[in-house]
Amino acid sequence: MDTYTDAIKNLYDITEIREYFNFSKFAGFLCTNDIMPIPHETVSFKKNTYPLRETIHTGAEEDERVDTEFIYIIESGIATMEKDNIVLDIKASDDIVGFSDLFTFNSSNYSYKVISNAMTVVKFNKAHVVDKLLNTQEGYLYHYSYTLRERQNLEFKERIRREKAESKVILAVHHLLEKLNLLNLKISDLYTSFPITMVTLANYVHLNVNTVSTVLHNLMKLGVVKIDNKQIFVNLEKIEAYIVDIDRHY
């Protein structure tokens, strides 16, 4: 392989991109970088509210519309990314809400709903973000990092689309545990709390709730999960072994 090809491969190496241009560093790049620092504010949202939706007061009436002027980098909390009441993705710490519509200012393809007790975000004007992304080399790499992440999400959703119900659920739970940074937790308890409801999980994997409930109760018999007062708990060691077995037959 020639030097030029090596250089291109290194430039687009996903490991390097994740390490140096992940979204835990993106807010710092926008706020404190010496070139074109962007004004921002920290905002909190309550459970079951929609961060990209605002109420417009028009005299005697109130009109609710999608607010497409801002993006939000999540500091804490969890939100669903939805379209036509279908959960397409789960957004959590260091994810960006509104980035999928970055170059759209008049409409949004998606809605976002807070599903944790609260969600704290850093709020940026979208036009300022676009300006900085287009005029800095680092900005391009952050946008490229986001594109890679979204492509991986699409590949994952396409994979589970072809799986049977049990594999869909177990793969989705494992994927979301990783996304929520819960796989490497050092905990004294055997089971880790899974902060996604059965209804949201069913929507995410495109199965009805009864099917997901049946799958989870079968997994309970194997000790992979347990359910207490509708809350799902996961045995991390057993789910890892289960994933290895699924991958072996994939």
Determine contact, residues 101/130, Cβ cutoff 8 Å: no
Amino acid residing at 153: N
At residue 188, φ and ψ (nearest 5 deg) are: -80, -30
Q: How many CA atoms lie within 13 A of 83 on its CB side?
A: 8
**Dist. CA 121–CA 127, nearest whole Å:** 18
Q: Residues 6 or more apart from 212 whose CB is under 8 A from it?
A: 165, 169, 198, 201, 202, 205
pLDDT confidence of residue 4: 46
Q: Which of 213, 218, 203, 210 is nearest to 172 (CA)?
A: 203
Residue 182: the pLDDT is: 87
- Produce one character per residue of 122-146: b if its CB has 16 or more CB atoms within 10 Å, e if not: bbbebebbbebbeeeebbebbbebb
Q: What is the pLDDT along the chain (250 residues), one digit of tens a residue?
A: 455 455 545 555 656 666 666 667 888 888 876 777 788 899 999 999 987 664 444 455 544 545 568 888 899 999 999 888 889 899 998 888 877 766 655 556 788 899 999 999 999 888 888 888 888 888 888 888 888 888 888 889 898 988 999 999 999 999 999 888 888 766 657 889 999 999 999 999 999 999 999 999 999 999 999 999 889 999 998 999 989 888 776 6
Closest CA to 234 of 198, 180, 193: 193
Distance CA 128, CA 168 (A): 40
- Tell me, what's the pLDDT at 130? 87
pTM of the model: 0.80
Position 14 scores a pLDDT of 58
* Separation of alpha carbons 173 and 225, rounded Å: 10
> What Cα–Cα distance (Å) separates residue 246 from each residue in 23, 122, 214?
30, 38, 19
Which residues, in sequence order, are bridge partners of residue 125? 70
pLDDT for the residue numbered 149: 81
Reading the block at residue 180, the tokens are 């929520």
